[in-house]
Each structure stands twice: as C-alpha cells, then as structure tokens.
Amino acid sequence: MDGLLLVHKPKDMTSHDVVSRIRKILKIKKTGHFGTLDPLATGLILVAVGKATRLFRFFLHMDKTYEGKIRLGWSTDTYDSYGHHSIEESKNYPDRQTLLRCMREFEGEIDQTSPPFSAKKHKGKPLYELARQKKELELKTSRVIVHFFRLKGYNPPIVDFAAKCSSGTYIRSLAHELGQKLGCGAHLFKLTRTKIGSFHLNDSFTLDEIKRLVHQEKTRKFFLPLESLLPELPSMVINNAAASLIRNGNEFFADSVLKILPGKTSRSSKGKIEKNIFKVYNTRGKLIALAKSNSRCQSYHPFLVTGS
C-alpha cells in the first residue's frame, strides 16, 4: 500500500501520535506525516504510507490555511493556551479598527521568531527541550509569507480569524506578536488547519472513520494512491525496455517514451513546480519513478524509483 491519507487530527494528540495510530490501523510500519500540527490544533494532516513517504520534498513548501481564535489580555510562555501566563492580565482591549490595522501589518513577507516551545532546533536540540531547562536563547527569525490574516469576528477578548501562510509559519507566533503590537498581550486559543496546498479538510477522515473503513475493506474511500499524487508534474508513459532500465536506476532515452501528458496547474502549485521533472508510468499505468530530463529532453535520469 503506497499513497496518502488526509487525516482530521483531533485536539490533544501530536502529529506523531496520529502516525502511530495509522501505523497500527493499517499494519504498515513505513508511515510518516508531511507537516507537524501542534497538540492544541485540530484539522488536516497528511500521512504518507509506503513509498509515498519518499515524496516529502514535494509537499514541504505547500501553503497552509487556518481558522482559529486568539485570546487577548495576556501572553503565555508557549504562545498558546497550554502555557503559563508570562504577563499580568490586561483588559485594555483595542477597538475593532485598531485590531484590523494591526492584523494587516502582518500580511506579506515578515520576519518571524519561533516560539520557545517548538520542534525547531538550536545546535541540534529541539527548542522545547532547551525551554524546559529554562535556558536563555537568542532565537533567530525566519522569513515567512502571510498571504492573509483576516478578522472573522471580534467579541473582546476573543478574536476569530482566518490565515493563509507559507510553510514554516507559526500561527502561535502570529498570535503572540499581535498581542505585543496591540500592547495587551495575546495567545492562541483555538486552531484548525483547513487546507494544505490543494488538499482540503472537507475531504479528510477521522481516525475512527479510517479504522471502520479498513475493517469494512473499503480503503479506497480514504486512500489516495501513489499514481494520483503530484498532479502538477507532467507525466510520461514509457515502453517495457525503458521500464527495465529504471528498475536498476539507469537512464532512458526519448525514443522510449510512448506518451507525454502536461501537468495540471492550479493557484496552489503555480510558480512552485520543479522544472524538468516527470512522473514516469509503465504501460500498465503504474507509477514507477520520478525522472529528471536533460536540457534538451533527449534522455531522462530516474532519481526516485517507486516500482517496476
């Protein structure tokens, strides 16, 4: 079984917990997730199974969309509701126009500091380990893109928001820094991830639903096979002789190609597609490799072999 699962992660479960549950349900050891979601958060997480775990690089930079709630009044050491108060509570809440203006200032390219309690590493150690040891660190900033940070509703002290951002953006940091800018402090109170690239939460399945469908032998309902992934890449069908060459990682030539089909572009993939990479299928319609062409497309080198 090689492919992708769209899982609806529940609250108070780590991304690793989700992978462990999927591993037990499917009885497949080779599983992994494409993007961490904090225990506080619910929503979409992509879980790869089998040879699909080797496609991580193609999912790494997908934009992500969220909905959630920010609680104004105080900040915490974790930047979310699981942490301890880092300042005294303030009830000096901003008016709606001030809040809107401050939220807009976070849109676009910004430098963001990771939360002290996060999986990001400093000299090989996760920040959360160093934070628990109460070690003082000068945290480095990362350049991220916030496509939008919208106000959906405001009933002080609760801010309902929606945000779309580049990979590597911490919504917890966005909430914390908003509180600093407003002068009243803030922390992330609730979060749901609704989209990763073109994958939508509405198409996901809970762990209980996946378990039930496996028991009913209806895995096709929730499983995205390897052949359906990376639709933005162009595809080619090759003859049997070239398929034999690929099995051993050898290059093949243009005269072995029976058909080439263009990739499907979308707003989420536009401008992010790696050039000169093809999905390679055998005559039976099975994805057997990803291959890179030379500059003149006279030959192709398979750099990731997925079948034969």
The CATH H-level (homologous superfamily) assignment of domain 3-61+199-226 is Pseudouridine synthase (3.30.2350.10)
What is the torsion angle, in degrees rounded to the nearest 10, for the CA atoms of residue 173, residue 178, residue 184 and residue 185?
Answer: -10
Amino acid found at 109: E
Contacts made by residues 114-118, CB under 8 angstroms, sequence distance 24+: 114/139, 114/140, 114/142, 114/170, 114/173, 115/78, 115/79, 115/170, 115/172, 115/173, 115/176, 116/77, 116/78, 117/77, 117/78, 117/79, 117/83, 118/170, 118/172
Q: What is the CATH number of domain 64-196?
A: 3.30.2350.10
**Which residues are identified as catalytic?**
38
Q: Average pLDDT for residues 40-52, to the nearest whole number?
A: 95
3-61+199-226 and 64-196 share one fold = yes
* Domain range list for the chain: 3-61+199-226, 64-196, 230-305
**How many Cα atoms within 13 Å fall on the side-chain side of residue 182?**
34
Amino acid found at 74: W
102: which 2 tokens? 């401050």
Is residue 120 very low, low, confident or very high in pLDDT (cuts 50, 70, 90)? Answer: low
Rounded distance, CA 280 to CA 148, Å?
Answer: 37
Rounded distance, CA 113 to CA 138, Å?
Answer: 10
Residue 118 has pLDDT above 70, yes or no: no
Q: To the nearest whole percent, how much of the chain has pLDDT over 90?
A: 71
- Can you give the pTM of this predicted structure? 0.87
73: which 2 tokens? 């009044």
| 259-308 pLDDT tens trace | 999 988 765 544 456 678 999 999 999 999 999 987 666 889 999 998 76
Is residue 205 very low, low, confident or very high in pLDDT (cuts 50, 70, 90)? Answer: very high
Q: What is the CATH number of domain 230-305?
A: 2.30.130.10
Contact between 211 and 283 (Cβ < 8 Å): no
Is residue 136 very low, low, confident or very high in pLDDT (cuts 50, 70, 90)? Answer: low
What are residue 42's DSSP bridge partners? 192
Q: Average pLDDT for residues 60-84, to the nearest whole number?
A: 93
Q: Which residues contact 134 (CB under 8 A, 6 or more apart)?
A: none
Contacts made by residues 286-289, CB under 8 angstroms, sequence distance 24+: 286/227, 287/226, 287/227, 288/243, 288/246, 288/247, 289/246
| 158-204 pLDDT tens trace | 999 999 999 989 999 999 999 999 999 999 999 999 999 999 999 99
